[in-house]
Amino acid sequence: MGRPLAPPPVGFIGVGEMGGGIARNLLKAGFPLCAYDTNGEALERIARCGARTAGSVTQVAGICERIILMLPDTCVVEAVLFGDEGLKPQLRAGQIIIDCGTTHPDFTRDASRNLGGVGVHFLDAPCSGMSSRAADGSLTLMVGGNRDAFFAVEPLLNAMGSSIYYMGGSGNGQLAKIINNTLFNVSCAALAEMLPLAVRLGLDAEKMCGAVMTGSGQSYGFDTFAPLVLERNFGPGYPMANARKDIDAITGILEKEGVRLPVVSAAAGTFRAALDQGMGNLNKGGMTRVWEAVLGVKVRKVQRS
């Protein structure tokens, strides 16, 4: 008997900070990868981990039955799928595309219908957990789209994250991610108000952070950014300018539904104030600077003798 044929590689488009961590975990789990990225350095890094590299997205489409996208926003996903040099002309019935970025749910549903016309399934599977959890394989994934396609790629998803939730039809994964991100953004906006207020009232910022992180006010957003704020370190994490799509998405959904949610609206106001003041390159902890300016204080560790 001849040797069994090797399985076709999994396509992976977008191997930057988040995508690179996910791709490495797929390689560790034994999935052969064919990767593409416009950033040559990112592509070289994943090649050193054992991935095959492609010269274009069309090359990925030609050899891969499963294709994962980890791209920054809806516009980039649209270009990769339907642009002049995009995937669609090379796609064939039976392929499954998994979009792991944060893409607008309306576009997701349109893309699913479009690709379904040629027999291709388009799953929205946005992930939550930042680059550290992408690296250790503990991401949460919220998946929308065809149920059978979801079960077909579930082994891939299990290699990418530790918590996988099938949310229903196309776009539902993205809607779940928007709700999740909004809760995260609200907690970050609350941190941005409360820590400057604590300092204004004469409280020790470091002790206040310790009390919250071990008390009932604890949240993932607070735990992530409060230590960075104390160090005046606003660099690590997703820049606010890139995260603006989350605020725009929830605002659009509320307008479409004719609903006003005051807490969400207030958090969006703080977020936009930070962007208007030129803080788009900072992480979400940078929103603290908006309220520091209003209250005339700075949140930082006190040098102790």
Q: Is 162 helix (H, G, I), strand (E, B) or coil?
A: strand
Exposed, middle or buried by CB within 10 Å (0-12, 13-18, 19+), for 239? middle
Catalytic site includes residue 177: yes
In whole angstroms, give the CA distance from residue 196 to residue 79: 42
Instruction: Choose the catalytic residue: 28, 88, 177, 207.
Output: 177
Spell out the long-range contacts of 289-295 with Cβ–Cβ below 8 A and sequence spacing 24 or more: 289/234, 290/192, 291/192, 291/193, 291/196, 291/197, 292/196, 294/196, 295/196, 295/197, 295/199, 295/200
Instruction: Locate 100 and state its tokens.
Output: 């792991």
> Are the C-beta atoms of 68 and 98 separated by less than 8 Å?
yes
Helix (H, G, I), strand (E, B) or coil at 141: strand
Phi and psi torsions of 99, nearest 5°: -95, 110
Backbone φ and ψ of 164, nearest 5°: -115, 125
**Phi, psi for residue 165 in degrees, rounded to 5:** -125, 120
Residue 302: Cβ within 10 Å count: 9
The catalytic site residues sit at 177
